[in-house]
Structure formats: C-alpha cells, structure tokens
Amino acid sequence: MNSEELLAQERKLQFTRFGNDVAIELGLHLLDAAREQGLPIAISVQRNGHRLFHASLPGTAPDNDSWLERKARVVERFGHSSFYVGTTFREKGKTFEEESHLDPALYAAHGGVFPVILRGTGPVGTVGVSGLPQAEDHEFVVTQLESFLNARDA
C-alpha cells in the first residue's frame, strides 16, 4: 500500500463526534472482532492522550503495550497513521529510525495505530492494535474503523 492510498483512508474514516462513550464502543467493536478472528492483539483507544479503552487478548505480552505507545506517539506527533509515516520514509528510500532523529525507544513508525479524526477539526486521538505483522495490524484497524463508522451512519 502506498502513501496516497493510506491518506485516502484517513480522508474517508472520520468521526462526527468522539467522546468517552464512542471510544469505549469503538474499543469493544475491535475487541469483538479480534475475539471472533482469534487474534492475539492488544487494543488501545485514546483521546488527546487519555487512554479510554485498553484490552489485551491471549497471546499478547507487555511488549505489545510498548509497541502501542510508541506507534501512538508517532500518530500524535505527525497527525497520520503510523503506517503512513513509516511508508513515506520508505518511499523516499530512508528509514524512520535514522531520518526522524526520534528515539526509537519512544517512537515506532510501524503499522497499527490510526488517528481518530474529527471531521472539521482534525486528529483528536488514536485507535490501534499490536500483535500482528504491521500491515495486518493496520488493515485490521482500518477494516474495523470502516465497519464501526458505517454502522453508526446506518
């Protein structure tokens, strides 16, 4: 997936409101889908740095929480999905770790965390998972965001 396709996802997957109740509903939506698919992932939903939902399914470890935090910091800093940020560096033939000059113990531009974008406002939080290969983490979040937003519009 290239950076333009990833940006198109961000333009499409936006909220009209996002409070604690919506964050918890979103987290539960991801949790239900992960359980149905038997995925060993950790899930996090945040608004403005406040973690509103967190769950870790069987097969996860404390490292998954660290990955979630590192990927969320990338989204908070750059305003785009962690996969998009890493992809833009790779498309330029560079690595995020070398070119960003950010501490890799604190920042990870690997797929799996997506910005919670409030239409007309911009990014207000993050939703993410950790536990699968980065492209699969990203795809799971995007798929579940799309089904969650579509169900809310119905």
Q: What is the pLDDT of residues 8-57, one digit of tens each?
A: 999 999 999 999 999 999 999 999 999 999 999 999 999 999 999 999 99
Homologous superfamily of 3-153: Haem-degrading domain (3.30.450.150)
pLDDT-derived band at 152 (thresholds 50, 70, 90) equals confident
Domain ranges of the chain: 3-153
| pLDDT for the residue numbered 153 | 72
| pLDDT for the residue numbered 45 | 98
Q: Quote the pTM value.
A: 0.96
Residues sharing a CB contact under 8 Å with residue 148, sequence separation 6 or more, in sequence order: 25, 26, 29
Over 90: is that where the pLDDT of 72 sits?
Answer: yes
Distance CA 113, CA 90 (A): 18
Contact predicate 101/89, CB 8 Å? no
Span 111-124, average pLDDT: 97
